[in-house]
Structure 1
């Protein structure tokens, strides 16, 4: 009732294919059961199908099953159960899983020792796939010299890429890099412009508000003009 015929039909076919053990269908039908989308909600059934698809090698199922395990037990024990699934998905190149494993190694949780070199490598892998949160973290790590050599220029570059991709937090942090001349020449106009972009998106940073107020009238005018041309 009220469900599009094609959607209901698709759910039926996913269910049939899932019963036949087809991993992609198991994964898709598990998502439907989790959400109660076009079918009756069934978390237990979804859990079983997601695990089956994960064990069969479906990388999206591996990542999502790991997320379910952590959701069920947010503590270290839950992360420990999830790690093998995160690892398998990360090994296939799934950026979400690479980022998750970076957090595991960065914090030394889930039975894994703290390993910032490994974490930075995983952040780089995810960042290269345009995973903006990884780009921000990698930028910060490079600027701080965490998990490897300090590289201000590359750190600036990753932050700029995330900012240009539309990440508001990155836009604000890029403004601060321009303000401080970190990894680039100091540029109060671009600092102001990027902060204006972030502020228009709803981010408020008192430090950057003070910075904006300290610009000359001409600098403010130029910053606003540039902000209007930025992503």
Structure 2
């Protein structure tokens, strides 16, 4: 489980603060909304020194953003910490994120992160509750306590946090919650999926496809895979390609399968690379192309796909040596051109194509 890091400027007003402090904060907020960040900093700094916690938080966030020309994390965290100590919920959550990740200017400190999240979580901040749950489960900043962590995830999930809901689904699916409970896992995955979380949409699709925790329904599975795939979820794109290729829940459609596999390989899905190789080998793309087949099988094999090694050897036996060299060069060219794109490394060490 990982935390999603996001620090935002607060737009709330501290209505209990003195009128002169409020005016300074409001003037800074108006300036920030106009993009006049230097003026915003000046106004917020004046209000922050008078104790306005909203100004303190916004000033810290502004100093982190670098929108005034230079980022100043050390001063930023001091202002955010002052706001958090006054009970500013977003400041407490942001402080937790800052200590959780750390930076060049201040060390990562799980203990401080946990304490800051706890302040926000007690006031009902669902993202802080999720963060606390993750840290309890992983034993970060305190003694590991999976049971207490799951309770925090439930609080966050009940409040509508889709990532907490997804992680609860994973806990019940894996047995981390005490025992495997597919029906309970499906319930939480579905809530997260309805909230638009792509990984949960993929898991809901898989459960409909396997009939685990819910009724077997390939058509409904496909509809969930489509939602996730449209958000760029690679595994869902591959799943849609495989359904079209095998005729699972629909008629076999090689053209549709190729289109989905081509989308999935952009995310370096080695299974999609393997199936593209097979399709070019078998002529399922319109006509056989053994050089193109070798290219995709070579890429899949270099990512550790076991069957790709066998198929690549078979294709190589049908090609002149010069074409094998050409196909390998094409694979290397694709590898070099796409390696900067975000992708999964299947090996423990950074790999080179070979």
Fold shared by both chains (TM-score > 0.5)? yes
Note if contact 2:56-2:83 (Cα within 8 Å) is conserved in structure 1: yes
Label 1:110 to 1:79 Cα distance change in 2 as closer, same or farther (>3 A).
farther
Larger radius of gyration: 2
Paired position in structure 1 for 2:109: 115
Using the alignment, how far apart are the partners of 2:108 and 2:195 within structure 1?
36
SS in 2 for 1:220: coil
Matched, 1:27 2:21: no
Label 1:47 to 1:161 Cα distance change in 2 as closer, same or farther (>3 A).
same
**Structure 1 gaps, min length 5:** 1-19, 222-231
Paired position in structure 2 for 1:213: 209
Q: 1:173 aligns with which of 167, 171, 176?
A: 167
Using the alignment, how far apart are the partners of 2:122 and 2:84 within structure 1?
13
Paired position in structure 1 for 2:148: 154
Label 1:204 to 1:184 Cα distance change in 2 as closer, same or farther (>3 A).
same
Paired position in structure 1 for 2:86: 92
Label 1:43 to 1:145 Cα distance change in 2 as closer, same or farther (>3 A).
closer
Aligned length: 196
Deviations 1:102-145 (A, max 9, x none): 23322333643332122212122221112122111111111111
- Superposition CA RMSD, Å: 2.6
1:85 positional shift: 0.2
Q: Which has the higher helix share?
A: 1
Q: 1:54 aligns with which of 33, 48, 57?
A: 48
Using the alignment, how far apart are the partners of 2:86 and 2:74 within structure 1?
20
TM-score relative to the length of structure 1: 0.75
Note if contact 1:156-1:184 (Cα within 8 Å) is conserved in structure 2: no
Label 1:52 to 1:110 Cα distance change in 2 as closer, same or farther (>3 A).
farther
1:189 positional shift: 0.9
